Amino acid sequence: MNILDSIKTSILTPIHPAGIPFIALFFILTIIIGWLWSPLYYIGFTLTLWCVYFFRNPPRVTPILSGTNTNNLIISPADGKVIEVSDITPSEDIGLPEGKWKRVCIFMNVFDVHVNRSPMLGQITYKKYVPGSFFNASLDKASDENERLILNMDTENGKKIAFVQIAGLVARRIICEVDIGNSLRAGEIFGLIRFGSRVDIYFPSDVSVMILKGQKTIAGETIIGDFSKNAKPVKEKLDEK
């Protein structure tokens, strides 16, 4: 793909509806400040393009596990970088049964796609909003102290998972478009976070982890875990950069 094709593809990428008011506001402000002093047109136009870029919502192709009717793959709920893969006892707020669970934390910077997608096929059984601080979302304490929205899902294969939208240093608005009782397909959009944030996902400790710390993920496409009994977990580590 040449540069022209790349630019054309970016322009034609769909925009999440939550971004339209912001794009319109940036555009109006550009007209106003440009009328006051023409060189400001360039600054306003650049910021408007960045806003369009931030709220982009590119189509994704979610993988399926062939040869079975069960929903065994856990798919990344967010674009970003894996900053933690660990065994943890979740806090009571998460709403999961007591015991050890796997947790994968994905940090989204302001240049990542911020549309969040369902990790599996299943039904939402628990939803909780927790007010909190706005620390840098890459810090460990962000999981327990930042503003967050928690969802639990009963998956098609009879298991429980949880995924948590966490606000960050700049992000001040969590958007969640589902409620208890709603069903989601794997890879289906359920919300987004403005403007730089994190998503944590919890799943049973015996599930094979298919992701590495330091790896980049693509929402709706990257495989995080696999419930299949014959799945081989990924155990190597990527060099942190």
First to last CA, the chain: 28
Phi and psi, residue 193, nearest 5°: -130, 135
Catalytic residue annotation: 197
Distances (CA, A) of 24 to 28, 120, 192, 199: 6, 34, 19, 28
For 47, residues 6+ apart whose C-beta sits below 8 A from its C-beta are: 26, 30
Of residues 137, 241, 133, the one with CA closest to residue 199: 137
Distances (CA, A) of 25 to 30, 52, 124, 170: 8, 11, 34, 19
105 near 198, Cβ under 8 Å?
yes
204 near 30, Cβ under 8 Å?
no
Phi and psi, residue 18, nearest 5°: -65, -20
Dihedral sign computed on CA atoms, order 215, 185, 124, 170? positive
CA angle 22, 27, 28 (to 5 degrees): 100
DSSP assignment of 129-144, as one string? Answer: EE--B---TTSTTHHH
